[in-house]
Structure 1
């Protein structure tokens, strides 16, 4: 499962809910390092911090009373009612103890019959059903060596369930009908499923727990116009007498029920291959020509991961399908991952965007999550941390150290933002709701912790340990102890201390670093400042890098006390001293640096993360200083495009009179840089300084091949106040690019006037996800400045989105737009109905 993070050029709107003791010996080099420690000290606070871990009931893994061996499903669909008609045949046996009853998860269904099957003979069984579980009285007491087959005839009604969700999975209805009656001209008719966490039981009866595994057969009956996809191997398609067809998919290796999937729609199937396996990409026909450009690195990823893990991709095929209105970024269904529609792109969009991260994420899940599965949601990082870290592994392999370093910096930022209000152990049994596990702890923090583990044990041991973990635990459910033991078996080390402080304890180290130099000796004082009422005093194997006369020397240290001083012989005053120069630590390092040190860090540190941090710190402190401006101008020529963009964005805060020395270089970047994102940032920086001075540049940018640059040109031109601004912008009114649409909506929100009402109404029907969120924000501002357009049609549209959008933050954005008209009685009633029917606690908190 993959999060979707929203970032949009030129937009500055947001909602409140979108913000969404171990010690040991110090490793030393007797020739260079001497360690002196002060007394151990701890911090104790008098008040409970906002992020303090919450105490909830213990959540164990599901007790296995029965073993679900095989599931056979025969399904057809009522598009008008949005029902699934199903016949489920389940093969089971008691797990260990004898059993005479069977409990199956089955949410919101009509149960027509339950039977015991012996061949083709069916014997009705007594059962009780409460809308969530079927409790079946078996015909006798079965031992663990006796298999039996249960048949359930049922109708699934997903839209009648009370839905909830999480940051990663915005709804949990299990089965979704998209445009079922074909009334929306902007959407195809589709059906798809989403099983994580325990939503598969909303469309077929099962034992819906991650520590259960089964093989499966699925027979899908649909109209012949539709293409189907499911797990495993496509066996055949049969034409039926009533004009329908039945497609048969077979999954012959066991997996968890939540990984069962189907997708139905008018898909173009773009074929690819890796070794002897079929690799297919399912997209809407309009995107058939670009599907390979989006997904085409998949075979190379499969080769890379298979070789590194020493474990060949285990499933019979790999398919990737893009669907409309998906309730997450993507989902790692066994052998058939599902993706949000954002991955359908035209040629121009491909110039600026690359979805390799999310593609690698779901692919790595095929090993970590599908082949070896967390035994409980409390152990979710065993799935998600590995998938998140695969994005780093692939970026490092394919795009180099700089791009990988940026991903790590971004992951740290995501976690630290969440840590302001929430700090929980990575492995946490005391959650309130299992959906709470899908957060930046399980994803971002988990990935960073795995990187620290890899750095500590070394690459050879890292990959050997992962191979042992996968080999020993294949087709089974695991908890974190099994990961630890795999690493201990390979390395010979006792790693309990590492797993205890990083996986089982909340929070992160907060280090204060100071250094001084005198008489040939460098002293580095490190203080652990985190609140040890809740967090440990950490054991941190790190490095200290010292640059002297332009040369770098690294010293290994172990920070394992609350206060420590490390001393090093150094010939002269250092140019720069850094703790953790590899930027691998999950934590904060507060180290005051001089202007000269930060400039040296930009110019001499090879690590992209160090350059980006130094640029940020200089921007916060002394941007108008001539030496700083010169250093940032040098960064404009950096090989890594994100460093160039960071320098541009920092310099853009200069007053126009002080920007003269760098305008020329930024103008060159606006015209010539190979990266569209850099050109766009440069155009916006010049727009901040130049007004109409760069009018011709904005016109040139509007014709750029990159949508990002075109959008920047639109915003730049709008800022000139030229009399033909509206005419220039209206030339792009039919454009569907999210960058362009958002630039236009920003301008039209306040300057569009009544004539742009139809444009907003049309775009709200066309755009999706994060783009729709922002367009709704602009539409709210538009309605506020054009009250004559507060029409019943606009109210009805916003009400429908606020009540029915599958994406929680889109519902919230529509609600806020309605608030603009809250003086009207009919709108007040709608707002009240929205609040009464909303189930997402994040929205309810905002509404109330």
Structure 2
């Protein structure tokens, strides 16, 4: 499972973001991460006498689900009432008692009408007594069965997902399992689709099952739809049968067992673009408009299949691999067995592909086919056994395909995401004491987990890492696991006792907080290391690492193990070091305070070779950026081979005054049109605008036609900022552009510069926007309404009220509510705001809306 990220030009549009939990990442050209959607936090600062706001919470223990019955096989025959948004289903379940004899079976079946339950013996059906409370279907089997006896049930039911009480989380925004998109075809901006989303326990909203990750079943699904629709499900497509009533029935067969939450369907008018890996079908399901670019979006999939299969020593285990893009998906993506589902943001045109690649999320869901599908966590408490590996696969693929810097940039992003979350939340990675299973889908399970796996790989070495993963997968295939089984695989391969590593990193909350100081005297370097984390909640860590020491321009590496609250390490060094780097490999998940002089930071930038250390030097010296020797470092940063270093240099330099950058400005002018990376060209344009936009007005005008949408959007902002007389005329040329970066740039400027004539443009863009873009457009629309009171019409009020009441994403509802507040002097709006508050169930929004 992957959540949702936005694109970078939202930042250029001057919209503030806060770091949220791990989501799917659109990335520029290769794998550079963009800003996550905002979380709305209402945390209050703790008092001096209270425990830290991040202190682990004390909830009840959540064990794995007891197995009373074993679900062996599920056959589903489904059709749909598009108008009512119902699924009409006939489910045949094959089960047997797990160990102890059983007479009663309790199935998960949420929000259904149960028409009948029969015990099947061939074609002979015996009705069974059952009770149903809307969530659980309790069936009297008529007699006691032993673990040697299989039995089959046939359940006739109707699923009514829209009548379920709304639920969900930041990661998976709804949990109704089955979704009808534009079911009556009345929305011209959306195709008609049906799709499912099972994680965590929502498959039972569209078929009766044992909805738990420690259950596995094989599966047949017969899907009846109109012939113009294409279907997708798990496993192999067997046939399509034409029916007498003009419909067709497609039959999909999943022959290998998988967890019920991984069952899926997708139905729509898709273009199916064929690809192949060895003799296996690899298909991409997209809207017809994107048929021509589907292979450019997903085309690295066969190479990923080869890379992961070779490295793991376990060939991709399923019959096919399909990837489908759907509208209004409730998360970033989902790793359904052999058929992953993705949000609509993956659909890119040729020009958008110049800026973005979705390789990270594609690799993430593919790696889940091993870690999550082939081997599945036994409980949601052990979710990092799924998500940490999928998260780390993004690093593995970036390292393989794009090089060390791209991989390191991803790791820095993961560190930032976790550290941001750690300000208000610190829990063990493996946590049995959660309040709600949905809380497991956070930056601990994803970002921290990925970094912990990287430390484990560094600790044991590459050969042992891959051998241990092979043993873990082959030993536990088609089964459910807990973290001890991962540890034992590594111990059996390496011969090492790794309990200490798994205990401190998987079972304990938090992370090390270290202060490092150094001194040199008479040929000896002393490194004083203190662990200063709050040991009321966190352990004293054992940290194997390497210290890098540079003397005479040469590097020496010294391995050490930090395992005390305070200790001193002494190294024989012939002369005073030019630089000392604690954790030379930059692999440690920790907050490290190690003060360095200006000279040391300048040396570090030029000599370390590590992306993290280069970026650290630039960040630490930004207050001295006007000094000649420091500015020379930034000048070299502008020429760095890696785009993120160039962008970081531009970001710092843009904060200087024009007179302070006279020597650098010509280089930035050249970068604004010639840098190979569109996002860097965008950063260069914004830097020039910050220094003296009027001076570069013609350059901005030309750059609005840049092939990169990101650069074009930055040029729009820069040109509008010059106050050119023809600004509105120039911006109007882009009003029909569907790209979100350009639309957000226009919205930002129109919010403060346009009059009532742009009202219709705003409404059109709002109605066509997807979820993330809608959040930002609503912010600009609110500012626009504040500046144009004559546009505060009943139509505008009704549009915002609909979003504030009914949108499935809490942050979109929040943005709509805030936009309505602009008109709060109107009595009808005051009444609406009260109505919205009364109907809102999300605690974050209720806190925000409070008096």
Give TM-score scaled by structure 1 length: 0.96
Other structure's SS at 2:663 match: helix
2:450 matched residue in structure 1: 447
1:68 correspondence with 2:71: yes
Q: Which one of the candidate residues 155, 175, 191 is aligned to 2:178?
A: 175
In 2, Cα distance between the equivalents of 1:840 and 1:789? 30
2:673 matched residue in structure 1: 671
In 1, Cα distance between the equivalents of 2:298 and 2:800? 35
Other structure's SS at 1:661 match: coil
1:743 correspondence with 2:745: yes
Residue 7 of structure 1 deviates from its aligned partner by 4.3
In 2, Cα distance between the equivalents of 1:329 and 1:705? 27
Q: Counterparts in 2 of 1:373-412, with a 5 A limit? A: 373-412=376-415
1:8 correspondence with 2:11: no
Other structure's SS at 1:497 match: helix
Q: 1:16–1:846: 8 Å Cα contact kept in structure 2?
A: no
Deviation by residue 1:163-187 (Cα, 9 ceiling, x = unmatched):
1112211111100010111111010
Deviation by residue 1:445-466 (Cα, 9 ceiling, x = unmatched):
0000000000000000000000
Other structure's SS at 1:794 match: helix
Q: 1:541–1:558: 8 Å Cα contact kept in structure 2?
A: yes
Q: 1:15–1:813: 8 Å Cα contact kept in structure 2?
A: no
- List runs of 5+ in structure 2 lacking aligned partners: 23-47
2:428 matched residue in structure 1: 425
Q: Which one of the candidate residues 543, 547, 550 is aligned to 2:550?
A: 547
Mean Cα deviation higher: 111-120 or 211-220 = 111-120
Q: Which one of the candidate residues 775, 789, 792 is aligned to 1:773?
A: 775
1:288 correspondence with 2:291: yes
Residue 316 of structure 1 deviates from its aligned partner by 0.1
Q: 2:414–2:447: 8 Å Cα contact kept in structure 1?
A: yes
Q: Counterparts in 2 of 1:192-591, with a 5 A limit? A: 192-591=195-594
In 2, Cα distance between the equivalents of 1:713 and 1:83? 48
1:811 matched residue in structure 2: 813
In 1, Cα distance between the equivalents of 2:370 and 2:152? 30
Q: Which one of the candidate residues 673, 693, 696 is aligned to 1:694?
A: 696
Mean Cα deviation higher: 114-123 or 289-298 = 114-123
Residue 8 of structure 1 deviates from its aligned partner by 3.3
Q: 1:325–1:806: 8 Å Cα contact kept in structure 2?
A: no
Residue 841 of structure 1 deviates from its aligned partner by 3.0
Say if 1:336 and 1:509 are closer, same or farther in 2 by CA, change over 3 A. same
Residue 14 of structure 1 deviates from its aligned partner by 4.3
Q: Counterparts in 2 of 1:800-839, with a 5 A limit? A: 800-839=802-841
Q: 1:163–1:839: 8 Å Cα contact kept in structure 2?
A: no
In 2, Cα distance between the equivalents of 1:845 and 1:374? 35
Residue 17 of structure 1 deviates from its aligned partner by 9.6
In 2, Cα distance between the equivalents of 1:730 and 1:126? 68
Q: Which one of the candidate residues 650, 653, 661 is aligned to 2:655?
A: 653
In 2, Cα distance between the equivalents of 1:790 and 1:15? 27
Deviation by residue 1:751-770 (Cα, 9 ceiling, x = unmatched):
11111100000000111121
Other structure's SS at 2:138 match: strand
Q: 2:13–2:717: 8 Å Cα contact kept in structure 1?
A: no
Other structure's SS at 1:320 match: strand
Q: Which one of the candidate residues 714, 721, 728 is aligned to 1:712?
A: 714
Q: 2:21–2:417: 8 Å Cα contact kept in structure 1?
A: no
Other structure's SS at 2:735 match: coil
Say if 1:19 and 1:490 are closer, same or farther in 2 by CA, change over 3 A. closer
In 1, Cα distance between the equivalents of 2:440 and 2:189? 35
In 2, Cα distance between the equivalents of 1:845 and 1:17? 19
Deviation by residue 1:680-720 (Cα, 9 ceiling, x = unmatched):
10010001011211011101210110001100110110011
Q: Counterparts in 2 of 1:79-118, with a 5 A limit? A: 79-118=82-121
2:45 matched residue in structure 1: none
Other structure's SS at 2:87 match: strand
1:791 correspondence with 2:793: yes
Q: 2:21–2:443: 8 Å Cα contact kept in structure 1?
A: no
In 2, Cα distance between the equivalents of 1:276 and 1:468? 26
1:51 matched residue in structure 2: 54
1:133 correspondence with 2:136: yes
1:635 correspondence with 2:656: no
- List runs of 5+ in structure 1 lacking aligned partners: 21-44
Residue 117 of structure 1 deviates from its aligned partner by 1.0
Q: What is the RMSD of the two structures over their aligned residues, measured on CA atoms?
A: 1.2
Residue 624 of structure 1 deviates from its aligned partner by 2.2
In 1, Cα distance between the equivalents of 2:218 and 2:592? 49
In 1, Cα distance between the equivalents of 2:581 and 2:844? 40
1:28 matched residue in structure 2: none
Residue 831 of structure 1 deviates from its aligned partner by 2.5
Q: 1:78–1:85: 8 Å Cα contact kept in structure 2?
A: yes
Deviation by residue 1:544-598 (Cα, 9 ceiling, x = unmatched):
0011121111100000001111111112221110111211101111111111111
2:163 matched residue in structure 1: 160
Mean Cα deviation higher: 107-116 or 503-512 = 107-116
Mean Cα deviation higher: 800-809 or 217-226 = 800-809
In 2, Cα distance between the equivalents of 1:19 and 1:221? 38
Q: 1:94–1:144: 8 Å Cα contact kept in structure 2?
A: yes
2:32 matched residue in structure 1: none
In 2, Cα distance between the equivalents of 1:465 and 1:75? 42
Give TM-score scaled by structure 2 length: 0.95
Q: Counterparts in 2 of 1:600-639, with a 5 A limit? A: 600-619=603-622, 621-639=623-641
Deviation by residue 1:37-92 (Cα, 9 ceiling, x = unmatched):
xxxxxxxx954001000000110000000000000001111111111111111100
Residue 19 of structure 1 deviates from its aligned partner by 9.1
Residue 796 of structure 1 deviates from its aligned partner by 1.5
Other structure's SS at 1:536 match: coil
Residue 802 of structure 1 deviates from its aligned partner by 1.9
Deviation by residue 1:362-393 (Cα, 9 ceiling, x = unmatched):
00000000000000000000000000000000
Q: Which one of the candidate residues 751, 762, 765 is aligned to 1:763?
A: 765
In 2, Cα distance between the equivalents of 1:586 and 1:72? 46
Mean Cα deviation higher: 68-77 or 797-806 = 797-806
Residue 828 of structure 1 deviates from its aligned partner by 2.6
Deviation by residue 1:314-344 (Cα, 9 ceiling, x = unmatched):
0000000000000000000000000000000
